[in-house]
Amino acid sequence: MRWLDVRGRRFHRTLQFTRSSPAAAARPRQPGRHRWDGKIMDKDRLFQEIDALLAAEGLELSDLRVLRQPGGKPLIQIFIDKDPGGVTLDDCGAWSDKIGAHLDLTEIVTGGYILEVSSPGVDRALRREKDFKKFAGSRVHVRLKRPVNNSRNYHADLKGFEDGKVLLSDGLAFPLEDIEEARIEPDYDEILKKHK
């Protein structure tokens, strides 16, 4: 589990369950796949497969990251959610097993990997149109792929999503395809008040 320390108080950021897969034999590189320290992975297919797997059970794939790890095994971080109420640690553990078995059977990931299944956390990523609509009114940090007005980073209130653009306070609007990453900026003072 991850914990954040804010002003001397610790609170839970995400529910997380980790598993490591055995190494599999290396396979030849195919078009559209990404190489991770000798391992080959089709990240788009990975996202689509896991999204469909979760959606069939009423859950949502909030975010997916693949990170390089010392020692060569990629770290696959999968962030899941469900309405209402969110996911529990038991949900994360059960889905870690299901997703791991699916990855091993479909061979989307070649070689060994480390799988983390977590809740989105208080600073959840926003990726899709529905995310920007659902969390309208929240404070967000948006990082663009290329600078606009000499800046790639914007901190503003999220107003919504319209005509393919993310709408922010102060009249800012960015096409979704121009956004590298968008995250909710949690109000830690408000969170601490709720947990007193």
Asked whether 183 and 141 are in contact (CB, 8 A), the reply is yes
| 101 domain-assigned | yes
Asked whether 3 and 12 are in contact (CB, 8 A), the reply is yes
Q: Do 39 and 108 fall into the same domain?
A: yes
In this prediction, residue 19 carries a pLDDT of 53
How much is the average pLDDT of 91-96? 90
Q: Do 133 and 92 fall into the same domain?
A: no
pLDDT at residue 22 greater than cutoff 70: no
Q: What percent of the chain has pLDDT over 90?
A: 40
Q: Do 45 and 106 fall into the same domain?
A: yes
pLDDT at residue 2 greater than cutoff 60: no
Q: What is the average pLDDT value for the chain, to the nearest integer?
A: 79
Element (H, E) at 94: helix 89-106
Q: Do 55 and 144 fall into the same domain?
A: no
Range of the domain at 138: 129-194
Where is the domain boundary, 118, 141, 168?
118
pLDDT band at 177, cuts 50/70/90? very high
d(CA 191, CA 196): 9
Q: Do 97 and 53 fall into the same domain?
A: yes
Better-predicted residue by pLDDT, 3 or 188: 188
Better-predicted residue by pLDDT, 109 or 142: 142
The tens digit of pLDDT for each residue in 115-162 reads 999 998 888 999 999 999 999 999 999 999 999 999 999 999 999 999
CA dihedral in degrees (119, 191, 135, 156; nearest 10)?
Answer: -120
Q: Do 137 and 190 fall into the same domain?
A: yes
Nearest to 165 by CA among 118, 126, 132, 117: 132
Range with the poorest average pLDDT among 27-31, 123-127, 182-186: 27-31
| 84 domain-assigned | yes
The tens digit of pLDDT for each residue in 33-51 reads 444 444 456 778 888 999 9
Residue 126: Cβ within 10 Å count: 27
d(CA 121, CA 186): 10
Q: Do 111 and 30 fall into the same domain?
A: yes
Close Cβ partners of 119 (under 8 Å, ≥ 6 residues apart): 14, 15, 16, 79, 80, 81, 86, 87, 92
| 62 domain-assigned | yes
